């Protein structure tokens, strides 16, 4: 588990104990208390477990109505729970999550990265990015990509902007079916070696696009 190097160990038990069912609605008192607690307690990341799925779903859902995040159903989160990493306090208070979607040795994607609104700016999002970068490196994945509306945030972690066509796997998986595909306001970013034409020509990633399977229409 990654422990924040910048935060001091806890001096006492946190007075706040939100559960997986805690609504992510503004509560000035709770937000102020948790934010000040975060100055004195550890944040840590760990792989998500099924018991985290409700909290993950609730948080992602609260950011998907305005298009900030792609919607993920509870069932989809459960089925892909191993791709998720969460950030929490030392007392297991859920603070946020992110997922690493692996396309192959040439490419992985950071998805569904989000932290509770009341702890924005406390370093939790940065810890998630660092942890997913570490996981990608540990698997020898050459390139880590993401599509975002806040490129400035990812520039902090040395991600650079590229043409989205460099990430065909991602485009085929999400963009082709997206309602906003003709008016997309997201920036494609990546860290590492971009996929090569050789990676992209590997049809085993896109079996439904094999030319031999195309049917010629007679008109």
Ligand X SMILES: CC(C)(COP(=O)(O)OP(=O)(O)OC[C@H]1O[C@@H](n2cnc3c(N)ncnc32)[C@H](O)[C@@H]1OP(=O)(O)O)[C@@H](O)C(=O)NCCC(=O)NCCS
CB of 70 to ligand X, least distance (A): 9
Binding to ligand X by residue 115, rule CB under 6 A? yes
Choosing from 120, 180, 181, 202, the residue that interacts with ligand X (CB under 6 A) is 120
Q: Could you tell me which stretch among 18-26, 44-52, 100-108, 120-128 binds ligand X (CB under 6 A)? A: 120-128
Number of shown-chain residues binding ligand X (CB under 6 A): 19
Residue 11: left (phi > 0), alpha (psi -120 to 50), or beta?
A: alpha
Closer to ligand X by Cβ: residue 18 or 125:
125
Chain residue at closest Cβ approach to ligand X: 125
Q: How far is CA 80 from CA 101, 102, 125, 142, 193, in A?
A: 9, 11, 20, 22, 26
The C-alpha atoms of residue 192 and residue 215 are separated, in whole angstroms, by 38
Binding to ligand X by residue 126, rule CB under 6 A? yes
Question: x/- site string to ligand X, residues 40 to 79, per CB under 6 A?
Answer: -----------------------x----xx----------
Binding to ligand X by residue 190, rule CB under 6 A? no
Residue 92: left (phi > 0), alpha (psi -120 to 50), or beta?
A: left
CB of 78 to ligand X, least distance (A): 21
The contacts of residue 89 (CB under 8 Å, 6+ apart) are 14, 37, 38, 41, 42, 43, 44, 95
For residue 161, the number of C-alpha atoms closer than 13 Å in the C-beta half-sphere is 9
Contact between residue 68 and residue 103 where contact means Cβ atoms under 8 Å apart: no
CB of 113 to ligand X, least distance (A): 5
Question: x/- site string to ligand X, residues 127 to 166, per CB under 6 A?
Answer: -------------------x-x-x-xx--x----------
Closer to ligand X by Cβ: residue 174 or 200:
174
Closer to ligand X by Cβ: residue 100 or 199:
100
Pick out residues in 88-107 that bind ligand X (CB under 6 A): none
Summarize as ranges the residues that interact with ligand X (CB under 6 A). Answer: 63, 68-69, 113-115, 120-126, 146, 148, 150, 152-153, 156
């Amino acid at each position: 588990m990654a422990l924040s190097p910048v935060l001091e160990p806890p001096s006492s038990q946190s007075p706040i104990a939100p559960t997986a069912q805690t609504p992510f609605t503004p509560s000035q008192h709770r937000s102020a208390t948790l934010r000040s607690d975060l100055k004195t307690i550890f944040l840590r990341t760990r792989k998500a477990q099924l018991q985290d799925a409700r909290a993950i779903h609730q948080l992602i859902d609260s950011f998907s109505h305005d298009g900030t995040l792609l919607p993920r159903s509870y069932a989809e989160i459960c089925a892909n729970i191993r791709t998720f990493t969460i950030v929490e306090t030392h007392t297991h208070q859920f603070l946020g999550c992110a997922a690493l979607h692996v396309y192959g040795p040439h490419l992985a994607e950071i998805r569904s990265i989000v932290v509770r609104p009341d702890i924005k700016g406390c370093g939790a999002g940065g810890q998630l990015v660092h942890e997913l970068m570490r996981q990608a490196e540990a698997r020898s994945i050459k390139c880590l990509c993401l599509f975002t509306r806040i490129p400035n945030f990812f520039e902090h972690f040395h991600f650079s902007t590229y043409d989205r066509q460099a990430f065909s796997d991602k485009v085929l998986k999400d963009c082709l079916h997206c309602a906003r595909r003709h008016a997309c306001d997201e920036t494609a970013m990546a860290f590492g070696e971009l996929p090569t034409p050789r990676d992209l020509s590997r049809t085993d990633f896109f079996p439904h696009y094999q030319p031999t399977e195309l049917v010629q229409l007679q008109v």
